[in-house]
Amino acid sequence: MYMFMMNNGNDYIVVFVTVPSRDVGIEMAKALVNGRLAACVNVVDGLRSIYYWEGKVEEDNEALLIIKSRRDRLNDLINFIRGRHPYRVPEIIALPIIGGFDEYLKWIDGVVGSK
């Protein structure tokens, strides 16, 4: 039987970050995992982003990073991304993981740990 753990303390997060290309995304993903700020990063290529910027509607091809980490590492993660991201104002959005497969959440703890 599989155990589903409710995460009422919101210890775990998923962070979305858009980047200008797959290559930039892969480089950043590897750096986040190597730096133990993320247990896993999915790089989703082929996005078409439409957004309002500096008074007009813009369109760009981008990639999306889906980062699994811990809430207590969020500030470090944001600072790490800001220091390496090519955008002046990058999208960095953190969402709580409200529950999940117990062994997966424990794996995040083992990789990222707490600060």
Both tokens assigned to 65? 């990073």
Q: Which domain holds residue 72?
A: 4-112
Q: How many domains does the chain have?
A: 1
We report the CATH number of the domain holding residue 44 as 3.30.70.120
Q: How confident is the model at residue 113 (pLDDT cuts 50, 70, 90)?
A: confident
Q: Which tokens hold the place of 93?
A: 């959005």
Kind and range of the H or E run holding 6: strand 4-6
For residues 113 and 104, which has the higher predicted lDDT (pLDDT)? Answer: 104
Q: How confident is the model at residue 100 (pLDDT cuts 50, 70, 90)?
A: confident
Condensed to tens digits (0 to 9), the pLDDT of residues 43-93 reads 999 999 999 999 999 999 999 999 999 999 999 999 999 999 999 999 999
Question: Which of 38 and 4 is assigned the larger pLDDT?
Answer: 38
Q: In the predicted model, what is the mean pLDDT of the chain?
A: 92
